[in-house]
Amino acid sequence: MRIDIITVLPELLESPLSHSIVDRAVKKGLVEIHVHNLRKYGKGPRQQVDDYSYGGDAGMVLMIEPVYQMIEELRAEREYDEIIYMSPDGEIFDQGIANELSLKENIILLCGHYKGIDHRIREHLITREISVGDYVLSGGEIPAALVTDAIVRLIPGAITDETSALSDCFQDGLLSAPIYTRPADFNGWKVPEVLLSGNPKLIRTWQDEQAIERTKALRPKLLEE
């Protein structure tokens, strides 16, 4: 799999993409992640990539030319399954979308910045828009790192025990059951006896019941969906 990220601030992505599971997946050759500085196609000595918006609204807008040129450069080398704009008004990112994107071969993530991007980019170049929540951030870099992490950890081999990813929250539409580790008794706070029983059937039943109860209490809309 290959993920290309287009941004005006590549420095924001250096740390999230160079540690833990994502870094190990890259080193194993399971995924290629390339961060591209949009200012490569900026105008003038300042490599300008933004300008004032028509209509007089406050805030600067990413121009269409540098984005178009960068995407065309990438598309000249390979086909992309998705060209995704990290947008506050896109479809809300969830585990189902992460699962879907992890099966793709090549994707582009475009990070907005400033006030936003020229709408013609969204109309003619973008195939999908994804939001990480109903709030506004300074740019799309943190959402792009979040989406990349969620995708990469699902690639076979990225996690040593692949069954771990399959039992994560939301994979079956529910929150996970409580989890515990040693010691079994700390300050009188004890691990539930069923988890110490060694009976896989009883443990699984308990986990299923707990997952439903926790989802009902904390995220009831998941059960409705």
H/E element, 49: none
Listed range (30-34, 166-170, 179-183) with the worst mean pLDDT: 166-170
Residue 80's identity, in one-letter code, is Y
Q: How far is residue 221's CA from residue 40's CA, in Å, rounded to a whole number?
A: 44
> Residue 160 pLDDT more than 80?
no
Q: How far is residue 31's CA from residue 113's CA, in Å, rounded to a whole number?
A: 26
With beta carbons less than 8 A apart as the criterion, state whether 159 and 153 touch: yes
> β-pairing, 128-131 with 116-117?
unpaired
Q: How far is residue 123's CA from residue 87's CA, in Å, rounded to a whole number?
A: 13
Give strand ranges (E) for the chain.
2-7, 32-37, 50-52, 60-62, 82-92, 106-111, 116-117, 128-131, 185-186, 189-190
β-pair partners for 86: 111, 130
Rg over alpha carbons for the chain, rounded to the nearest Å, is 21
Residues 2-42: pLDDT tens digits? 999 999 999 999 999 999 999 999 999 999 999 999 999 99
- Token output for 38: 């949009």
CATH number (3.40.50.10800, 3.40.630.30, 3.50.50.60, 3.40.1280.10) of 2-152 reads 3.40.1280.10
> Residue 170 pLDDT more than 70?
no
> Residue 55 pLDDT more than 80?
yes
Mean pLDDT of the region 145-149: 98
For CATH 3.40.1280.10, the residue range(s) in the chain are: 2-152
Average pLDDT, the chain: 94
Q: How far is residue 208's CA from residue 193's CA, in Å, rounded to a whole number?
A: 16
For CATH 1.10.1270.20, the residue range(s) in the chain are: 172-224
Give which of 2, 3, 50 is closest to 144, Cα–Cα. Answer: 3
Q: Which fold has domain 172-224?
A: Trp Operon Repressor; Chain A (1.10.1270)
